[in-house]
């Protein structure tokens, strides 16, 4: 490993800032390699002390420093700071500096995205623009002037309201913006470029008219409508559900092609990865439409949960992200199918969050130690964070939860606060002691809830016992008991619900807070089957010794749709895990037995088509992986395929029926169409796998006849799954059609990266030379290299180590271009804990190679150093 060890920052070391900045006047003169920035800050000393002012800055060429109009030179510069000694308690600080957007490939600070200037400041990117107090608890009002060439940059945008503009000599022009709200610098944004503009309006519940402006690449106007519609839905929903109204007169969204993440909630000026804005039937799938609606809503909801009330320090990131993800999940559920949404949320937790908690990157939703903040935009902070908020919602009820939210805004509007402040508001508004609940914020790891029960036929009593178990994680040895809400019900053997308790309620909620708690039910006529963890009421692993029969019963008879799906998933995963070590005949028998359990689901009429499709979908390899302590990669992959194929063959007639049953309508993103496409394309996958003789015909017909991307892509996916030669032919056609459309081509890159063919590495290397591929664009890199490392099980985990080496070689290059993306893509390589010893060594060897790279970024250093023994 490299020898210079970067600084570890600790949550417990938090100190108030020594100085505050309450007003900022920024002026940008944009030029590709030398943009001039003038930053005039009104600074006040915070408290009684005589410490100097220490500003953050990175890669900045300093021209001058003035205090109260007088140039000073008694400052010291380091790699990442500027220290200014002054006796004044209140002064105006003027800094003039130069930055180079063109050479900024990190996509943090000010950079160029396909010819347009844009900024990304969260978490600590503002320091790449000018010297500043780059921390979220320094809140200021911003006035921003942008000067640029008018022809190439007709639109000059920043936060807040446009207050003035004018012309300059040499065909230059300027625009001035003023944001009336206090904000931390991570919410600052600037965009300059030439775009197509989609305009609309929104009238708030109190009657104010808001101008909505969506900026997209030239020629993409027709692909912006869905995003704009989604925005209006989100604005309305936040008013009706949370009583929260938009606060500025204008809301702008800009779609850019080069972006590290999904999108950014800069005040009044969201910047989006174009992947989460642009959609039409030809180029976007149903899933894309869904994601756009969700991300648009997510960023909009941040205006209150994130911007009006923000984070005191970055350890509190889940304050805004957990809460905002919870809000966008509730919104999405209201816009379409709640159960399909919930299943999707749970998949993310089980596939990725459980994996993170089982790895050397394990951390609580409020981390304690950080080297590179960009490494903590994680599924733990975001998605487990949202689960923690959801548990509060469950424990307090909707009314109680909303009362807590109301108090939170009353207390903290305009401030930078902590997760504890949030929980305290919930506690005070509900008069409920949440001190034990708070441990969810400080404790990492996936709890296990072990359930046992016993029935006494003579006394007609049933006892059920819940025990919480916690094991050490890489970051924490000591664990404490948590508050775990467990929603459940009991079924009798006729699959009827047993009434529980006096209120004649049929669903119970147990608040498990002790390490072990039992409940006893009287007058129970036969041994009940428990249906547990309804709606995934807590992010835990559940352990109850279900028989296959009992799981079948829960799948068919539970009142909770999530529990039904989950029981089906457990039937599948039990079957897959049990195949190891069996003879072929035994494998056949047990597969047949499992598959037969799903016969009634095929026939079922009491569930939606969408849920049916979910139940008939096998758990992913990643989910299965997380269910085991040690994984035989090849064995698991094989077993999953065996069951997949058996389902295909056993229900071949059904797949054919499902495939041909629905009348095709012209594409619309509409609930009933979406679920029909989902079922039809699932059926197509199974048909392809079943070896159905004329399936190639079906595939070709659908490919040629499709009026939308969902159906075209489904053909490619199916042909790939079935390992058909047709796959290569259709891929060629697809490329010919879309080679000028990088966003569409990403789907094609990803499919290639996921093929299970021996030539996979040669294939990827060749694609890296494709005219649309560039290491500078995160979407391309994620599609090709990310898909390979995250999802191509046989290629990445090839026992000869070639997959690991390939990814490591790439990361060594990417480290120089974009450390943030490199640190994301290294994830599968640091998750070696469950694989066999041979692979563990191969993976660690590659991690060491990357670790020895000259100029290793903090991003990669943090992940690698934690991961190596």
Question: What is the per-residue DSSP string for 460-524?
Answer: TEEEEEEEEE---BTTBS------EEEEEEEE-TTSPBPPBTTTTBS-EEEEE-SSEEEEEE-S-
- Window 738 to 767, contacts with ligand PHE (CB under 6 A): none
Q: Does 299 bind ligand PHE (CB under 6 A)?
A: yes
Q: Does 261 bind ligand PHE (CB under 6 A)?
A: yes
Beta bridge partners of 197: 215
784 DSSP assignment = I
Are 532 and 543 in contact, with CB atoms under 8 Å apart? no
State in angstroms the smallest separation of the CB of 575 from ligand PHE. Answer: 38
Judged by beta carbon, residue 271 or residue 721, the one nearer ligand PHE is 271
Judged by beta carbon, residue 123 or residue 850, the one nearer ligand PHE is 123
Q: Does 859 bind ligand PHE (CB under 6 A)?
A: no
Beta bridge partners of 489: 531
Judged by beta carbon, residue 576 or residue 821, the one nearer ligand PHE is 821
Buried b (16+ CB within 10 A) or exposed e, 232-250: bbbbebbeeebebebbbeb
Contact partner, 675, from Zn ion, ligand PHE, none, Cβ < 5-8 Å per class: none
Q: Does 293 bind ligand PHE (CB under 6 A)?
A: no
Span between the terminal Cα atoms of the chain, in Å: 12
**58, 213, 265, 299: the active-site residue:** 299
Q: Which of 116, 264, 624, 709 binds ligand PHE (CB under 6 A)?
A: 264
Q: Which of 117, 188, 354, 377 binds ligand PHE (CB under 6 A)?
A: 377
Please state the three-class secondary structure of 96-138 as a single string: EEEECCCCCCCCCEEEEECCEEEEECCCCCHHHCCCECCCCCC
State in angstroms the smallest separation of the CB of 325 from ligand PHE. Answer: 8
Q: Which of 198, 214, 244, 263 binds ligand PHE (CB under 6 A)?
A: 263
By CB under 6 A, the count of residues binding ligand PHE is 12
Judged by beta carbon, residue 265 or residue 293, the one nearer ligand PHE is 265
Q: Does 319 bind ligand PHE (CB under 6 A)?
A: no
Contact partner, 122, from Zn ion, ligand PHE, none, Cβ < 5-8 Å per class: ligand PHE
- Residue 2: CB atoms within 10 Å: 16
Contacts of 126 (CB under 8 A, 6+ apart): 56, 109, 132, 134, 185, 186, 188
Find the helix or strand (DSSP H, E) in which 148 lies.
Answer: strand 140-149
Q: Does 321 bind ligand PHE (CB under 6 A)?
A: yes
Site stretch for ligand PHE (CB under 6 A), options 117-125, 168-176, 532-540, 781-789: 117-125
Measured at the alpha carbon of residue 630, what is the angle toward residues 624 and 633, in degrees to the nearest 5? 60
State in angstroms the smallest separation of the CB of 267 from ligand PHE. Answer: 12
Separation in Å, CA 498 to CA 264, 336, 495, 632: 48, 31, 9, 41
Alpha helices in 754-832, H assignment, sequence order: 760-768, 778-781, 787-791, 793-796, 802-817, 819-825, 827-830
Give me the sheet containing 155-158, strands edge to edge.
Answer: 109-113, 116-120, 190-193, 155-158
d(CA 862, CA 126): 22
State in angstroms the smallest separation of the CB of 236 from ligand PHE. Answer: 20
Contact partner, 120, from Zn ion, ligand PHE, none, Cβ < 5-8 Å per class: ligand PHE
What phi and psi values does residue 38 have, to the nearest 5 degrees?
A: -115, 120
- Whether 520 is catalytic is no
Q: How many Cα atoms are found within 13 Å in the side-chain-facing hemisphere of 559? A: 15
Judged by beta carbon, residue 120 or residue 362, the one nearer ligand PHE is 120
- Binding-residue pattern over the window 241 to 260 for ligand PHE, x denoting contact by CB under 6 A: -------------------x
- Window 277 to 336, contacts with Zn ion (CB under 5 A): 321, 324
Judged by beta carbon, residue 324 or residue 359, the one nearer Zn ion is 324
Judged by beta carbon, residue 276 or residue 354, the one nearer ligand PHE is 276
Judged by beta carbon, residue 122 or residue 561, the one nearer ligand PHE is 122
Site stretch for ligand PHE (CB under 6 A), options 262-270, 467-475, 531-539, 614-622: 262-270
Task: Give me 695's structure tokens.
Answer: 């399936």
Q: Which of 25, 56, 58, 122 binds ligand PHE (CB under 6 A)?
A: 122
Judged by beta carbon, residue 215 or residue 377, the one nearer ligand PHE is 377
State in angstroms the smallest separation of the CB of 12 from ligand PHE. Answer: 24
SS3 state at 193: strand
Sign (positive/negative) of CA torsion 681, 230, 194, 142? negative
Q: Which of 120, 274, 337, 792 binds ligand PHE (CB under 6 A)?
A: 120
Closest residue to ligand PHE: CB criterion: 261
Binding site for ligand PHE (CB under 6 A): 120, 122-123, 260-261, 263-265, 298-299, 321, 377
Binding site for Zn ion (CB under 5 A): 321, 324
Question: Which residues are the active-site residues?
Answer: 299
């Amino acid at each position: 490993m490299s020898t210079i060890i970067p600084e570890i920052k600790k949550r417990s070391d938090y100190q108030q800032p020594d100085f505050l900045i309450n007003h900022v006047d920024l002026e940008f003169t944009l030029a590709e390699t030398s943009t001039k920035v003038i930053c005039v800050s009104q600074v006040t000393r915070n408290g009684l002390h005589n410490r100097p002012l220490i500003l953050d800055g990175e890669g900045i060429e300093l021209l001058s420093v003035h205090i109260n109009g007088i140039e000073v030179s008694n400052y010291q510069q380091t790699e990442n700071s500027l220290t200014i000694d002054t006796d004044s308690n209140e002064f105006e600080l003027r800094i003039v500096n130069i930055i180079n957007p063109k050479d900024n490939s990190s996509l943090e600070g000010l950079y160029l995205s396909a010819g347009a200037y844009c900024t990304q400041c969260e978490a600590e990117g503002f320091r790449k623009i000018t010297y500043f107090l780059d921390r979220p608890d320094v809140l200021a009002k911003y006035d921003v002037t942008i000067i640029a060439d008018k022809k190439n940059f007709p639109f000059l945008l920043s936060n807040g309201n446009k207050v003035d503009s004018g012309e300059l000599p040499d065909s230059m022009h300027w625009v001035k913006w003023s944001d009336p709200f206090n904000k931390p610098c991570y919410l600052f944004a600037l965009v300059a470029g030439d775009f197509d503009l989609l305009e609309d309006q929104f009238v708030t519940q109190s009657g104010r008219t808001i101008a909505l402006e969506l900026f997209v690449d030239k020629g993409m106007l027709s692909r912006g409508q869905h995003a704009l519609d989604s925005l209006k839905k989100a604005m309305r929903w936040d008013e009706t559900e949370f009583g929260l109204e938009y606060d500025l007169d204008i809301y702008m969204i800009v779609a850019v092609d080069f972006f590290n993440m999904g999108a950014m909630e800069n005040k009044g000026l969201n910047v989006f990865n174009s992947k989460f804005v642009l959609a039409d039937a030809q180029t976007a799938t149903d899933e894309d439409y869904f994601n756009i609606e969700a991300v648009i809503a997510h960023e909009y909801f941040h205006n209150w949960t994130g911007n009006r009330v923000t984070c005191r320090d970055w350890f509190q990131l889940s304050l805004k992200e957990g809460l905002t993800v919870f809000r966008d999940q509730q919104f999405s559920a209201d816009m379409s199918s709640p159960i399909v949404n919930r299943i999707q949320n749970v998949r993310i937790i089980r596939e990725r969050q459980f994996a993170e908690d089982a790895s050397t990157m394990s951390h609580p939703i409020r981390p304690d130690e950080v080297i590179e903040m960009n490494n903590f935009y994680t599924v733990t902070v975001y998605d487990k964070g949202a689960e923690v908020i959801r548990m509060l919602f469950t424990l307090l009820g909707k009314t109680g939860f909303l009362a807590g939210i109301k108090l939170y805004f009353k207390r903290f509007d305009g401030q930078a606060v902590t997760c504890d402040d949030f929980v305290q508001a919930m506690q005070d508004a509900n008069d409920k002691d949440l001190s034990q609940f708070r441990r969810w914020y400080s404790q990492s790891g996936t709890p296990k809830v072990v359930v046992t029960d016993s029935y006494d036929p003579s006394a007609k009593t049933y006892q059920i016992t819940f025990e919480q178990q916690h094991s050490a994680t890489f970051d924490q040895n000591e664990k404490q008991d948590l508050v775990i809400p467990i929603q459940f019900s009991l079924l009798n053997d006729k699959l009827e619900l047993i009434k529980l308790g006096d209120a004649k309620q049929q669903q119970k909620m147990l608040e498990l807070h002790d390490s072990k708690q039992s409940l006893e039910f009287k007058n129970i006529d036969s041994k009940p089957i428990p249906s547990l963890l309804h709606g995934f009421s807590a992010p835990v692993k559940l352990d109850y010794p279900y028989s296959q029969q009992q799981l079948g019963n829960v799948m068919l008879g539970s009142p909770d749709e999530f529990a039904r799906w989950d029981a089906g998933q457990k039937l599948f995963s039990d079957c897959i895990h049990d195949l190891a070590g069996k003879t072929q005949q035994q494998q056949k028998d047990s597969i047949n037995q499992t598959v037969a359990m799903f016969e009634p689901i095929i026939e079922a009429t009491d569930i939606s088509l969408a849920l049916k499709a979910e139940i008939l979908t096998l758990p992913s390899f990643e989910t299965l992986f997380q269910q085991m302590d040690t994984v035989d990669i090849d064995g698991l992959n094989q077993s999953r395929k065996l069951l997949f194929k058996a389902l295909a063959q056993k229900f071949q007639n059904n797949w054919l029926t499902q495939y041909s049953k629905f009348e095709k309508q012209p594409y619309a993103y509409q609930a009933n169409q979406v679920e029909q496409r989902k079922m039809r394309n699932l059926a197509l996958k199974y048909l392809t796998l079943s070896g159905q003789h004329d399936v190639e015909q079906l595939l070709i017909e659908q490919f040629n006849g499709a009026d939308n991307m969902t159906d075209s892509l489904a053909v490619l996916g199916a042909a790939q799954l079935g390992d058909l030669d047709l796959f290569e032919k259709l891929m060629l056609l697809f490329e010919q059609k879309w080679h000028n459309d990088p966003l569409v081509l990403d789907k094609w890159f990803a499919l290639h990266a996921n093929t299970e063919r021996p030539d996979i590495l040669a294939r990827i290397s060749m694609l890296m030379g494709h005219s649309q591929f560039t290491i500078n664009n995160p979407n391309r890199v994620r599609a090709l290299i990310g898909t390979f490392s995250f999802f191509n099980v046989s290629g990445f985990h090839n026992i000869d180590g070639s997959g690991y080496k390939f990814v490591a070689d790439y990361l060594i290059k990417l480290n120089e271009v974009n450390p943030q993306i490199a640190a994301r893509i290294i994830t599968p390589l640091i998750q070696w804990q469950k694989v066999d010893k041979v692979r563990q060594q191969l993976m660690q060897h590659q991690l060491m190679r990357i670790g020895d790279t000259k100029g290793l970024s903090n991003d990669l250093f943090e992940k690698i150093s934690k991961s190596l023994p």
